[in-house]
Amino acid sequence: MKSRILIGGVVLGILALSMAACQSVPAGTGALQGFVPAFEVTGDVEQPFLLDSLEDFPDSGLEREGRKGKKVNLSDIVSKAIPAAKDYTVLLIGDDGLTAEVEGNSISNCHITFSKDNAWEAINPKHPVSSNIKRIKEIVVVSAKNNTSFGLNIIDTTGNLEIISPGGLYKSPMLNLPMFEGRSTIEHDDKENWTSIYTRRKMVAVKDLECLLESDNPMAVARDGSQSFIKNDGFLELKGNRIDYVFSNLKDRVEDVVGIIVDPPGASNMDTYHDTAHFLERDEDVLVIILDGFGYHQYVHAVQEGYAPFLESIAPAKKAFSVYMPVTNAGMAAILTGKLPSENGVHTRKEMDISTPSIFEYAKKRGKSSVLVEGNIKILNLEIEPILNIDKNSNGSADDEIRDKALEKMNEGQNLMVVHFHGIDDSGHNYGDLSFQTMERIKLTDGYVKELVYRWDGRVIITADHGMHSTSEGGSHGEFRYEDMVVPYIICEGEGRE
């Protein structure tokens, strides 16, 4: 007998997972032995997991006539997965598709047990009997409110269009398609027998999303910071508590998509590196001014309301796309390397080491002098050390000290200067992105920028590492939303005045 296996690694992985999911383990108190099917606790949760035993959970103490075996509070099971939001509902999904939804604040009255007749089963004496789902195959947490910090957000350059969460997809029309994964054959008694393998995949057709229907050039951004142009003929596939984009060939994919931008702007703050390199090659000196936490919507508001008279007087800002995650470390690394976080290695606030050369290395190799004038904290480990500045006059910001140090370094003569102002970001966090206080800070910073541009003899690039959005406490950033991801980008000439 000869066998020939033509199944790809994907199918082998699926088979391995299936075997792991049907372990011979004790259920309940240990009285029931045998193969116990595992089911997934997933949806809008931080840590989805497979449940194949109740051993790690305390007994709920529920007494039911004729019902033996251990019973566990549903709240204990859901808590282990760590819901992404405080307010949520829970879907109990049976293997026949029958689904019961219960409020998250009442699940302490719901219980899960395992029996030989009903497999995994919900027993909810304080809920309608229809909630007692048998043969449970999934428990899904669904956030009650839209949460831009979790799931997949669809934006354009003017607003936030739609929020899609893994849990929310379970309550939306989904394709549950059989997908061919491979075929295996075996020869027996001079006859070849074959078996084709299919998997069921939970998918949503992108063309069914109204906000993407008219988009000519949508771009998906993954959690690792990579960016990929996609098509409207693809799918969003639910994979546990993440959402992937799958191309129409059903093979290629963008994993763990945090957002899609409809027709992204032609500019990026990563252009800073490439434009700077271009000007240096032409023997032009370059001043790069980074306005921390200055979103494009803040720029427009400040200009319209008279808080940025100098910025209004120079070249109009382009809309530029920042990088995910829109925080200072990742934004600065993208600006200075011209590379995405997936390439330069800086994804969050935690990383400081870049894995690709920065513009300072580029300048050094060409015999150009360069300097980085920073606030009071070193942001990244670069080829040069930053010049740090503290708030010497105790006026609440080191931006005036940064301006003074930048002017001092200009007098010494530099081919490349990068000056990083932090005050707009600080005010945005404290008071909100469009607050009066933040607008006043923008006005003050606008004056500092004017002083530097007037003194600089060469090209000037002005941009931001990320933007800022409103919260109930003030402002924040770090989410895939238009306020955080779209920033201004300006190129102008320095005045070269003494």
Around Cβ 334, how many Cβ atoms within 10 Å? 30
Q: How many residues does the chain have?
A: 498
33 band by pLDDT with thresholds 50, 70 and 90: low
User: Is 357 found in the same domain as 274?
Assistant: yes
* Domain limit, last residue, from 220, 235, 261: 261
The one-letter code for the residue type at 119 is: A
3 band by pLDDT with thresholds 50, 70 and 90: very low
Q: What is the C-alpha to C-alpha distance for residues 36 and 5, in angstroms, rounded to an integer?
A: 28
Whether 342 is in a domain gets the answer yes
Whether 180 is in a domain gets the answer yes
| 47: Cα within 13 Å, side-chain hemisphere | 7
**Chain segment 402-418, per-residue pLDDT in tens:** 999 999 999 998 999 99
Q: What is the C-alpha to C-alpha distance for residues 492 and 349, in angstroms, rounded to an integer?
A: 30
Measured CA distances, 63 to 70, 108, 125, 451 (Å): 10, 15, 10, 77
User: Is 195 found in the same domain as 73?
Assistant: no
Mean pLDDT of 175-180: 77
Q: What is the C-alpha to C-alpha distance for residues 370 and 50, in angstroms, rounded to an integer?
A: 54
User: Is 63 found in the same domain as 42?
Assistant: yes
User: Is 50 found in the same domain as 34?
Assistant: yes
The one-letter code for the residue type at 172 is: S
User: Is 458 found in the same domain as 331?
Assistant: yes
pLDDT: which is higher, 177 or 379: 379
pLDDT confidence of residue 67: 66
Whether 103 is in a domain gets the answer yes
Domain count across the chain: 3
Mean pLDDT of 109-119: 90
115 band by pLDDT with thresholds 50, 70 and 90: confident
Strand partners for 261: 155, 219
**Chain segment 293-344, per-residue pLDDT in tens:** 999 999 999 999 999 999 999 999 999 999 999 999 999 999 999 999 999 9
User: Is 193 found in the same domain as 158?
Assistant: yes
* Domain limit, last residue, from 261, 295, 315: 261
User: Is 280 found in the same domain as 252?
Assistant: no
User: Is 164 found in the same domain as 68?
Assistant: no
**Chain segment 441-471, per-residue pLDDT in tens:** 999 999 999 999 999 999 999 999 999 999 9
Give me the CATH number covering residue 74: 3.90.420.10
Strands 459-463 and 286-291: parallel
Whether 498 is in a domain gets the answer no
Whether 457 is in a domain gets the answer yes
Range among 105-109, 117-121, 386-390 rated most confident: 386-390
User: Is 174 found in the same domain as 299?
Assistant: no
Q: Which of 31-40, 227-236, 277-286, 355-364 has the lowest mean pLDDT?
A: 31-40
Whether 249 is in a domain gets the answer yes
Structural Rg of the chain based on CA atoms: 28
pLDDT confidence of residue 180: 82
Q: Domain containing 219: what range?
A: 152-261
Whether 462 is in a domain gets the answer yes
pLDDT of 29 strictly over 70: no
pLDDT of 88 strictly over 90: yes
* Domain limit, last residue, from 261, 291, 319: 261
User: Is 382 found in the same domain as 463?
Assistant: yes
User: Is 286 found in the same domain as 252?
Assistant: no
Distance of CA 117 to the CA centre of its chain: 43
User: Is 447 found in the same domain as 422?
Assistant: yes
> Nearest 10 degrees: CA dihedral of 207, 210, 214, 219?
-70
Q: What is the C-alpha to C-alpha distance for residues 171 and 192, in angstroms, rounded to an integer?
A: 44
* Mean per-residue pLDDT of the chain: 90
Percent pLDDT > 70 in the chain is 92
Strand partners for 267: 320
